[in-house]
Amino acid sequence: MSTTLTLFRRELASYFVTPVAYVFIVIFLALLGAMTFFLGGFFGRGEADLAPFFAFHPWLYLLLVPAISMRLWSDERKSGTIEMLLTLPISPMQAVIAKFFAAWAFAAIALALTFPFWLTVNYLGSPDNGVIVAGYLGSLIMAGAYLAIGSCFSTASKNQVIAFVLAVLVSLIFTVAGTPLVLEFISGWAPRAVIDVVAGLSFLANFEAISKGVLDVANLFYFISVIALFLFINVVLVNVLKAR
């Protein structure tokens, strides 16, 4: 446990020694602001809630979260430090978990810095803060799911750009799985059960339910399963690197 914590601390600190972290946070906040106020019509809606704010999280995460996770393993492979890391007395699983949680903590910091939105709606009206808390919780756990996918594909290549593109591609599939576009595409030939499964796989649908304030265990469990699945594949991939 303390070993994992040590790895976690080093990984999290490494985000902040380069300007990348600050650039990322600024871009994240600026885009989120632009989307919420201009595309989401935050002021025009006449409602004191953060629905237009949360609505854009999946789309923003789709592009930005793989940028957080892409370096996790591919950078270690490129610089050769992976050899130093994996010959220390640690297990690959400890390394995978430490790296994932470090990236998640970073995402949580970026998300926490959106607090002015929350202050704004509270200043302008009296929103249901329970719904907002649920929204933040859902957004955080969804970010974890995107990160797990990104971390997994970061193992796949020494090249961060390739890791990024692969992660975006797979994340896109998970994001849009339940949208009419995809469902109509497969409904012509796929059996009913498959359609239900695909519909249930959508990050969008699962997040929407949470962000409306309905903290259903099923939705949370869905994201946790995605995280567990991709971290498991991540550990397998790290072991494959050793056997290659």
Region of 11-19, 35-43, 113-121, 210-218 interacting with another protein (CB under 8 A): 11-19
Task: Name the minimum Å distance from CB 73 to another protein.
Answer: 14
3-state secondary structure the chain: CHHHHHHHHHHHHHHHHCCHHHHHHHHHHHHHHHHHHHHCCCCCCCCCCCHHHHHCHHHHHHHHHHHHHCHHHHHHHHHCHHHHHHCCCCCHHHHHHHHHHHHHHHHHHHHHCCHHHHHHHHHHCCCCHHHHHHHHHHHHHHHHHHHHHHHHHHCCCCCHHHHHHHHHHHHHHHHHCCCHHHHHHHHCCCCHHHHHHHHHCCHHHHHHHHHCCCCCHHHHHHHHHHHHHHHHHHHHHHHHHHHC
Decide: is 23 part of the binding site for another protein (CB under 8 A). Answer: no
- Write the binding mask 88 to 127 for another protein: x where contact by CB under 8 A, - elsewhere: xxxx------------------------------------
Region of 77-85, 134-142, 190-198, 228-236 interacting with another protein (CB under 8 A): 77-85
Decide: is 6 part of the binding site for another protein (CB under 8 A). Answer: yes
Helix (H, G, I), strand (E, B) or coil at 8: helix
Task: Name the minimum Å distance from CB 70 to another protein.
Answer: 16
Decide: is 129 part of the binding site for another protein (CB under 8 A). Answer: no
Q: Which of 23, 43, 83, 125 binds another protein (CB under 8 A)?
A: 83
Decide: is 159 part of the binding site for another protein (CB under 8 A). Answer: no
Task: Name the minimum Å distance from CB 160 to another protein.
Answer: 15
Q: Which of 2, 188, 189, 217 binds another protein (CB under 8 A)?
A: 2
Residue whose C-alpha is closest to residue 155's, from 60, 231, 84: 231
Beta carbon nearer to another protein, 3 or 187: 3
**Residues touching another protein, count (CB under 8 A):** 22
Beta carbon nearer to another protein, 68 or 111: 68
Which residues bind to another protein, rule: CB under 8 A? 2-3, 6-7, 10, 14, 17-18, 79-81, 83-84, 86-91, 242-244
